[in-house]
Amino acid sequence: RKEVEQDPGPFNVPEGATVAFNCTYSNSASQSFFWYRQDCRKEPKLLMSVYSSGNEDGRFTAQLNRASQYISLLIRDSKLSDSATYLCVDPTGTASKLTFGTGTRLQVTL
């Protein structure tokens, strides 16, 4: 099993829709995660962190389910500009243990 797994998508949703995707992880000791956003052929940019209490930032909500070992990212009222690949990261341990998921591609359409 991969340390961090994501459905590559693409998730195609109409503008205004609500979309959610998950990231499963294998390290049961992990207690925090991060979501990054990466536009096509660009660098990743930190979107938000997620801890056991969850995190909400505007239209974005991130949740951590430690029992089932997954994190989720919910985007409400999708905008065209939300189209990107979303990477989840398990930062457990030293720098050499940072693990990036392969990303989930989101395409928001008119």
Partner 1 sequence: DGGITQSPKYLFRKEGQNVTLSCEQNLNHDAMYWYRQDPGQGLRLIYYSQIVNDFQKGDIAEGYSVSREKKESFPLTVTSAQKNPTAFYLCASSMTPDPTPPQHFGDGTRLSIL
Q: Which of 37, 101, 104, 106 binds partner 1 (CB under 8 A)?
A: 101
> Is residue 89 a contact point for partner 1 (CB under 8 A)?
yes
Which is nearest to 92 in space by CA: 68, 69, 59, 62?
Answer: 69
Which is nearest to 11 in space by CA: 86, 89, 90?
Answer: 86
> Is residue 100 a contact point for partner 1 (CB under 8 A)?
yes
Distance between CA 69 and CA 31 in Å, rounded? 10
Residue type, 95: A
> Is residue 9 a contact point for partner 1 (CB under 8 A)?
no
> Is residue 81 a contact point for partner 1 (CB under 8 A)?
no
Residue 23 burial (10 A CB sphere; 0-12, 13-18, 19+): buried
Cβ at position 16, least distance to partner 1 in Å? 29
Q: Which segment (11-19, 42-50, 57-65, 68-76) binds partner 1 by CB under 8 A?
A: 42-50
Q: Which residues bind partner 1 (CB under 8 A)?
A: 4, 8, 34, 36, 41-46, 87, 89, 91-103
